[in-house]
Amino acid sequence: MKTAQTIAEVRQIVSDARTDGATVGFAPTMGGLHEGHLSLIDAARGECDFVVVSIFVNPTQFAPGEDLSTYPRSIETDLAACEARGADLVFIPSVETMYPRQAVTSVTVSQLTETLCGRNRPTHFGGVCTVVAKLFNIVLPDKAFFGRKDYQQLVIVARMVEDLDIPVEIVPCAIIRETDGLAMSTRNQRLSPVNRSQAVALHEALQSAGDQIREFHRPARDIITAMQEYIQANAPNGEIDYIQIIDPQTLQDVETTDRSLLIALAVKFPEARLIDNMLLDSAGQPQ
Ligand code: AMP
């Protein structure tokens, strides 16, 4: 496995791989790698000849007062994990490499960015789209692998690629969970033991919402109210940011539940804001 810190090195290594006819798969990450990230590498390994991972805590997707300075960083163990899972190249740029000067160009995706996480994080997806577009231009992958854990990000990046004719296929990957159901996240490690055990209520609320939809197709409003009550009772240290039931493509709220939909939530614990979601088909079966 190679590592590269500069854009020129990445371009050279990827172009050398391509001269042998290799297809290139790419998994962008912010490090603090766990099985969720590593499942993206596995998927890329399964579908592409040459696998690139990036590890970059992108400052432009954090607003002032968010957790940029305390975001968990573990580069040595991350590199070992990438190597063990068969990555070919890990790109670890510095902030100066990615942003050598104050940029005057950025990528803005409208509408899809204005709901869910975008409501309380209005600058977040602009930062994400701009850095992902830059990384695509640096790595030039055939396929890029994104987790459904960050469902809104996945939809936004896929739309950006379509609208800007970026020649990459976006491959969605399943949410990887801890044994008690909590969606894996780099930020989970910051939770106190009490809040870590309360956090399991997020997935439990999603599961029971799924059950209610499958069996009774209760209206979205009722499901959301039941989820709010469950989380308030079982995760009292968490403050609900949002719980929404939406169309999986447009991300617009839906009222009825006899259709394919996404239940998405964000809950803020004192140490970390957690997100999770569940995608259901029109029969209420998890996807
Ligand atoms: P991050 O390092 O948080 O920016 O995440 C990098 C990529 O890993 C994104 O595509 C995430 O959706 C994906 N990812 C993070 N956590 C999980 C998880 N628990 N299951 C699947 N993919 C994940």
Tell me how far apart the alpha carbons of residues 228 and 244 are, in angstroms, rounded to a whole number.
Answer: 11
- Alpha carbon separation from 39 to 21, 88, 125 (Å, rounded): 25, 15, 23
Same domain, 12 and 152: yes
Over the chain, what is the mean pLDDT? 97
Q: 200 CA to middle of ligand 1, Å?
A: 18
Tell me how far apart the alpha carbons of residues 43 and 19 are, in angstroms, rounded to a whole number.
Answer: 23
Kindly state the tokens that stand for 89.
């190249």
Tell me how far apart the alpha carbons of residues 257 and 283 are, in angstroms, rounded to a whole number.
Answer: 9
Tell me how far apart the alpha carbons of residues 73 and 78 are, in angstroms, rounded to a whole number.
Answer: 9
Which residue's CA is the closest to the ligand 1 atom numbered 11? 147
Same domain, 76 and 121: yes
Q: 156 CA to middle of ligand 1, Å?
A: 15
Q: Is residue 221 part of a domain?
A: yes
Same domain, 59 and 25: yes
Q: 36 CA to middle of ligand 1, Å?
A: 6
**Rounded average pLDDT over 166-173:** 98
Q: What is the CATH number of the domain that holds 253?
A: 3.30.1300.10
Q: Is residue 148 part of a domain?
A: yes
Same domain, 157 and 265: no
**Rounded average pLDDT over 128-135:** 98
Atom of ligand 1 nearest to the CA of 174: 21
Eight-class DSSP state of 54: E
Q: Is residue 181 part of a domain?
A: no
Q: Is residue 178 part of a domain?
A: no
Structural domain boundaries, residue 265: 186-280
Which residue's CA is the closest to the ligand 1 atom numbered 12? 147
Q: Is residue 230 part of a domain?
A: yes
In the set 34, 37, 124, 203, the catalytic residue is 37
Same domain, 199 and 223: yes
Could you give the angle at which helices 124-139 and 151-163 cross, rounded to 10 degrees?
60
Q: What is the CATH number of the domain that holds 136?
A: 3.40.50.620
Same domain, 7 and 103: yes
Could you give the angle at which helices 124-139 and 7-19 cross, rounded to 10 degrees?
50
Same domain, 169 and 58: yes
Q: 266 CA to middle of ligand 1, Å?
A: 15
> What's the confidence (pLDDT) of residue 20?
82
Which residue's CA is the closest to the ligand 1 atom numbered 8? 37
Same domain, 116 and 229: no
**Rounded average pLDDT over 271-275:** 97
Q: Give the tens place of pLDDT for each residue, 28-86.
A: 999 999 999 999 999 999 999 999 999 999 999 999 999 999 999 999 999 999 999 99
Residue 32 backbone class (left: φ over 0; alpha: ψ -120 to 50; beta: rest): left
Which residue's CA is the closest to the ligand 1 atom numbered 22? 147
Of the residues 146, 173, 200, which one is the last residue of a structural domain? 173
Same domain, 80 and 204: no
- The question of whether 124 is a catalytic residue gets the answer no
pTM for this entry: 0.97
Atom of ligand 1 nearest to the CA of 186: 3
Mutation probe of ligand 1 site: the residue of 55, 71, 150 with most atoms within 8 A of C-beta: 150
Domain count, the chain: 2
Q: 215 CA to middle of ligand 1, Å?
A: 31
Q: Give the tens place of pLDDT for each residue, 9-21.
A: 999 999 999 998 8
Tell me how far apart the alpha carbons of residues 124 and 66 are, in angstroms, rounded to a whole number.
Answer: 10
Atom of ligand 1 nearest to the CA of 146: 10
Which one, of 9, 13, 5, lies nearest residue 97 by Cα?
5
Same domain, 139 and 238: no
> What's the confidence (pLDDT) of residue 211?
97
Q: Give the tens place of pLDDT for each residue, 211-235.
A: 999 999 999 999 999 999 999 999 9
Same domain, 21 and 138: yes
Ligand 1 is surrounded, with C-beta below 6 A, by: 29-30, 36-37, 39-40, 146-147, 149-150, 173, 175-176, 183-186
Q: 53 CA to middle of ligand 1, Å?
A: 12
Q: Is residue 85 part of a domain?
A: yes
Q: Is residue 122 part of a domain?
A: yes
- Alpha carbon separation from 237 to 34, 171, 192 (Å, rounded): 25, 35, 11
Same domain, 81 and 195: no
Q: Is residue 286 part of a domain?
A: no
